Structures are given as C-alpha cells and as structure tokens.
Chain A
Amino acid sequence: MILNKQKVAALLDHLSGARDVFVPATVDGVAKFARYGEGVQPDFGMVNTTMPPKDLLFPQTQKMYHFDVDANGSYRIHEYDESREQVVFGIRPCDMRSIVCMDEVFLTKGFVDEFYANARDKLLTVCVGCAQAAETCFCDSMGVDPQMAPNADVMLQDCGDAYLVLAQTEKGEAEVAEWSAFTEEADAQPVTCDLTLKVDMEGVVDKLEGMYDAPIWDNLSIKCLNCGTCTYVCPTCHCFDISQDMRRKDGIRFRCWDSCMFSEYTMMAGGHNPRPEKLERVRNRFMHKLNFFERRYGMSLCVGCGRCVEKCPVALDITRLIDEIGAYDA
C-alpha cells in the first residue's frame, strides 16, 4: 500500500478532525512537533526538528495535582489528567527509538508512571523514514535504521513521490484501514539514506566500565558550560523535578524537566552535592547515555539523532567522545 505525498495534506485534515495531530513544522522560528492547524505548515523534508517530540509524552511542565483547604480546614487533592488522543505524524526513526527508551524508564521494572502511561496509550505514532540525513545524523551507528522503526504504529517509508505504508501494530492496522480514501494498492521501493557521520560503538560499553577515573573526562568537561541545552534537545533525556507553586492555601504540584548538567540537580538537603563540579556532571551524562542505561535496559540511551552535536554552544561532540573511548589505551 502506498500513500502519495500529494495526499498527505488531505490525510492530515482527516486525522485532525477528532484528535490533536502533531507534525514537524517551524513555528516562530523553532522547528518542533507542532499541532497541525492554521498557520502550521508541515515540513516532512526537514531532517530533524530542533526540539524532540518527547514533550508529547513527557511535557516540560506537567501539572500532577492541585490542592486546597475546604471549609473544615481539611486538605483536598484534585488530580489532573491532561492526557488526550494524540497523533504524531512524521516522527523519525531515531525519535521512535527514543520512545522505546522512555517506555523502559516509565513503564517497566515494577513501576508504571501513570502520567506517561496515559499519554502513551493515547498516542498514535506515524513514523516517516528518512530520505536524507543531516551531517550530524549518526543513527545507523547506534543501531537505528533510518528507513525503519519497528515500534511505530504506522511506518511510512520514503519512496520519492510516495510513502510505502506499513501497519505494524494492531492500533496501526486499525488506523490504516481508515485511510483507504488516501492510499493506493501499489508497491514502491524505499530510497536509501546514506549517513556520512559514523561512530564505532564496538566495545565502547564494556570499555567504559574501567574508565571512571580516565583523564578524558577532564579534557572533555573542561570546555562544557554546564548549560542544559544538550539535555533539553535530547529525545531520551527524561529527568524531572517535582515542585509546587503555592498561593496561600491553594497550590499545584507539578513536575518539570530537569537537567543533570545543572549544579543544583544533585544538591541534597543539608547541602552536600555528590556531583559538585563539571567533571562529575559531564561524566555522569555520558556514562548514562553509553553505559548505565545499557546495563539496566540492554540498550543505548543515545539514538544518534545528532541534536546535541548540532546545538552544543561549545561543540562538545558525543561522536568525538565515542571515538576517544574507542582509542583510549589505559
């Protein structure tokens, strides 16, 4: 089954009737997944959005509950569930892999995060394969196929003028069955996508086990500004902080993105900070991406989308770090 690219706009109009559909678009100068509608022009030629799609499942600020005091002086709690039916149309294979990572974090190992779970249940993922790569793309080195995302509900492989439509889950099959006005029974050949940036991950995970005190962390971290750019543009960084805003006896409790690059991230009550300097913070971030997550979940927490490589103010480049780990001789 194929979907002609000229029919995509009509399909989006159809989909956005009952649900919020998010598409890659540049809004106010920022490339992100924006709600399809007036003033939002989908751009499926853009390789990667600046902001990842993670906020559809894990918003930067998420209200958890609201509390106040009733006439008898008792506290009352009012829960929030702002999750709703959403479609992400045009998510890339690297970002689909990031959802695999977040699913592991928020849904497995004995604890289900209900805010994430509710949003995840209501999300339909339509992945568009890549026909071209940016110079910073290295997903295939991280085990991602730029034309295939096995966990997407619907996979649209780029074949030039049309997409080859693959329904990959029950949800995806049910969805695609409704698309007959837009699709055609035909076959097409996906184009190949060549990535110029390559890294060799062979042995990197194991090698990092013995590199906690290696000098590369100092060399690397010394130029880091400790801003949160890499963590906020990262599709897999999922750390959050829980806080509250109070007005007299009314308040809301919310969670919001946090960044391990910030000095107050690990600050404990009593004033001890186990990661006091840049070195500890930078080491932690990259160990988490390339080793800790692999040990806990059996996969890398870097999907090779290249956003941090592109956006880091000082060009602190994870691909160069991977090269250095490979070349490191203790």
Chain B
Amino acid sequence: MTAQDIIRTRAKELLESGEVATFIGWEAGRFENQTTPLVITDAADADKLVFNEYCVNTLAKYVRDVIPRGKVGLVVRGCDSRGIIRLVADKVIKREDVYLIGVGCPGIKDRKTGEMLKKCAECRHNNPPEFDEMAGEVAEKPVAVERFAEVAEVEAMAQPDRSRYFESVYAKCIRCYACRDVCPCCTCRECFVDQRRENWVGKQNNVAENRFYGLTRVMHIGDRCIECGECERVCPMDLPLMKLNRKVIQDMNDLFGEFESSLSLEDTTEPLIEYRLDDVEEFM
C-alpha cells in the first residue's frame, strides 16, 4: 500500500469510529500537479485525499480553526509535525486534541518547474518527530543546503548596500499578512497589527511601516520559528523572509548554543524568553 492508500484508509476509519471529528490532508486542485488543503468530516470524502510530491501546504495551522469541532486527525511530515509541537508548546492546543498520521516527506516540487521547492531544499527534518502512527516508511534524510548560507550573503554586503537591500525588500511588501496567517508560530489571539486603538503600526504602506511590521514579527517568532519556510513560499511579492528568520536563529546559536525549535514535546526551550543566570550578557 502507498502512503496515500494508508492515509485514505485510516482517515475513513478514524472518522467512521468517531475517534476524530475532522481530518485534514490535501486534495487535487484544478491544475496539473496542483494540490490544495482539504478538511473533511465525512468518511465518504476520504477518497478525495491525496499524498504526493506536490503537497505544498503545511497543515498544522488549520488545527486551531477546526478544534472547536472536536478532535482532529491530520497528516504530518516534518514541518507539519513540528508545527503541531509548536501549537502544543504555545498552549493553543493539547497533544490529545490531535491524532497524527506521520509520513516521510520526499521533498515537495514546484508544480510548474518540477524542481524542489526552496523550503524543501533547506529542510533538515523531513520525517515527523511527533506522530501517533506512520503511513509507510520514513523517508531518507534530505541533504539540506547550508543553513545560514543566505545570511552569510547578506552579511557580506557593505553596510550601506545592506541598508538599501532591506529598503528594497520592504518597499515591495503589500502587507497582505499572508506570512503571518500561514505561520504555525503566529498564534496570538490578536495580532499587534490589528490593534488599531493602540496603533502600534500605522496603516500607511511605506518602507518604515512595512519594515516595522516585518522586523517585529521576526523577533516575535524568533525562538519559535520551525523553519518550515511557508512565509517565504506564500509571499506574493517574493520577499526573502527566511533570511531574516535565520539571522535571528544564527544569533541565538552564537549566544546560547546550537538550537532548533520544536523538535520534541519534551524540550520546547525558547532561548529568547527563558532567562538563565549563566546567559551571555554581552551588553552589560
């Protein structure tokens, strides 16, 4: 049986038995090699589920929306699974709220070019660290590109060039907030940009406001980012958002030691939030 067969069979069983109220996976889209997230409540719809190398969307964030309907079953690869660990660590959901069908991820391809997506070429954990059962075998560990290669490129720029570079980046931002809305770490009940009365960030679209939004978000998710790369993938303006996220991660590595967020439910350390007496205090 293929992973897709197992997913369909198990989704059907889980819904029929009432063990889960909803099941989240992917279905085929209108175009060739396109998929789109699918949330089903009826076991009869389980045969719509697909699993292939074009399942671009991560699924963890949806759990937050469908949890009021009851326990949620979903398919998890490395990124989806780490998203779930993040939601549990952030107390958005409880572990027992979800039933996780793990699947080894082959790496996802761009449906138009057939090339592996950037986020998947950078992936270091394609197998789910947290699951209830596996559909099929674990996948081979990917050979990820150097984690901080892009950060090094920016750091190699002269300061005025770097400044101009980020100005051109934020001049393009249209503030659609897709990066926030797709992010499994963006779990605030109310985002600071939506707090109109406080007016933390103004509504004008200009480099200053856009950058303020972008950098605040980077710092806010800094030690929780699971490096799924979804923010960068969904950005309609192709902003290089992972460069910023990885810069924060690299700084944390330098200050607090090698770190990767949300790899296990037992260790959900948040280096920027947690205070230890032996922390580096380089500015004191």
Contacts and interface: CB of A to CB of B under 8 A. Distances in A.
A319 interface: yes
Interface string A220-232: 0011011111011
A61 B206 contact: yes
B268 interface: no
A191 interface: no
B207 to A, nearest CB: 12
3 shortest interchain CB distances as A-B pairs:
A313-B234, A227-B178, A315-B36
A284 B153 CA distance: 44
Interface in A78-128: none
Contacts of A259: 176
Contacts of A313: 57, 178, 181-182, 230, 233-234
B194 A222 contact: no
Interface string B87-131: 000000000000000000000000000000000000000000000
Contact of A228 (B65, B178, B196, B237): B178
Interface stretch (A66-74, A166-174, A182-190, A262-270): A262-270
Interface in B154-199: 168, 171-172, 174-178, 180-182, 194, 196
A30 B176 contact: no
Given A135-B31, A223-B38, A232-B174, A61 B205 contact: yes
Please classify how large the interface on chain B is, using the bins under 10, 10 to 19, 20 to 34, 35 or more: 35 or more
5 contacts: A223-B39, A229-B176, A232-B176, A315-B29, A315-B36
Nearest to B230: A313
Nearest to A197: B30
Contacts of B65: 222, 278
Given A28-B168, A135-B31, A223-B62, A229 B36 contact: no
B236 A256 contact: no
Contacts, number: 100
Interface string B68-97: 000000000000000000000000000000
A192 interface: no
A223 to B, nearest CB: 4
Contacts of B205: 60-61, 256-257
A319 B238 contact: no
Interface string B27-69: 0011100111111000000000000000001000110011000
A40 to B, nearest CB: 15
Contacts of B237: 29-30, 50
Given A50-B236, A227-B234, 17 more contacts: A29-B237, A29-B238, A51-B174, A227-B182, A228-B174, A229-B176, A232-B176, A243-B203, A245-B202, A256-B203, A256-B205, A264-B196, A313-B57, A313-B182, A313-B234, A315-B34, A320-B30
Contacts of A29: 172, 237-238
Given A28-B172, A254-B204, A256-B205, A315 B181 contact: no
B267 to A, nearest CB: 29
B36 A263 contact: no
